[in-house]
Chain A
Amino acid sequence: GAVVSQHPSWVICKSGTSVKIECRSLDFQATTMFWYRQFPKQSLMLMATSNEGSKATYEQGVEKDKFLINHASLTLSTLTVTSAHPEDSSFYICSGKRGRQETQYFGPGTRLLVL
């Protein structure tokens, strides 16, 4: 199957610091990766779509200067939450897909708690 990993699985940080979350496709090349955020008892909300080697496309209402996304290779995308605040505390989930008309494979998620 297609496996996506995320690191770290959970992180606690102080307000004002930056946090980087990694998303890796372990056994396939992900031409497109997606980043989602999920608040408790809510659905997944797409934050941005990234294609390898190009700038990410952010959804309306998502601050691209706050949530920096880098898709440096076909197996790695990173999300950096800059100057994190308590309201950024959430469950962040990434997914990757091989190409068009392909299923998305989801990572295990990263739980972020900002104090």
Chain B
Amino acid sequence: ELKVEQNPLFLSMQEEKNYTIYCNYSTTSDRLYWYRQDPGKSLESLFVLLSNGAVKQEGRLMASLDTKARLSTLHITAAVHDLSATYFCAVDTGMNRDDKIIFGKGTRLHILP
């Protein structure tokens, strides 16, 4: 059974600092997602990582994937208050055509102005 673990689960940091959120998963997968969720809202897709060594960047966020280590990271550079949200990683189970995804517990990021 696929398990997805994120850490930390809660992160309070100051603006302009850098930090990394980690996502470990337990079985082989060929697709990993990062999502952002603001309070009371649904999910916003940030990144889809498809292969070992994949790196994607959007603004102050950069995501990477190491399929051998079964690890993805979401790095935040010079954080700003607007990045405060909950961030989820999710891993595709790759099972048949349903391809359901399993979510981590989420990382609540609070950036202090």
A: which residues have CB within 8 A of B?
Answer: 31-32, 34, 41-46, 49, 51, 57, 93, 97, 99-109, 111
Tell me whether A101 and B41 are in contact (CB under 8 A): no
Q: Mark B52-85, 1 if CB is under 8 A from A, else 0.
A: 0000000000000000000000000000000000
Q: Would A44 and B88 count as touching, CB distance under 8 A?
A: yes
| A49 in contact with B100 given A43-B106, A103-B33, A103-B48 (CB within 8 Å) | yes
B101 located at the interface, meaning its Cβ lies under 8 Å from any Cβ of chain A in the complex: yes
Given A43-B106, A44-B88, A44-B103, A32 contacting B42 (CB threshold 8 A): no
Given contacts A103-B45, A109-B41, contact A34 B100 (CB under 8 A): yes
- B112 at interface, CB cutoff 8 A: no
- B106–A97 contact, CB under 8 A? no
**Shortest Cβ distance from residue B85 to the other chain A in the assembled complex, whole angstroms:** 13
A10 and chain B: residue at smallest CB distance: B40
What is the bound-complex CA distance between A41 and B105, given in angstroms?
Answer: 9
Q: Given A51-B98, A103-B45, A104-B101, list of 7 further CB < 8 A pairs?
A: A31-B97, A32-B99, A42-B105, A42-B106, A105-B45, A106-B45, A108-B41
Report Cα–Cα, A41/B43, bound state, in Å: 14
Measured CA separation A93–B46 after assembly (Å):
18
Q: Are A106 and B100 in contact (CB under 8 A)?
A: no
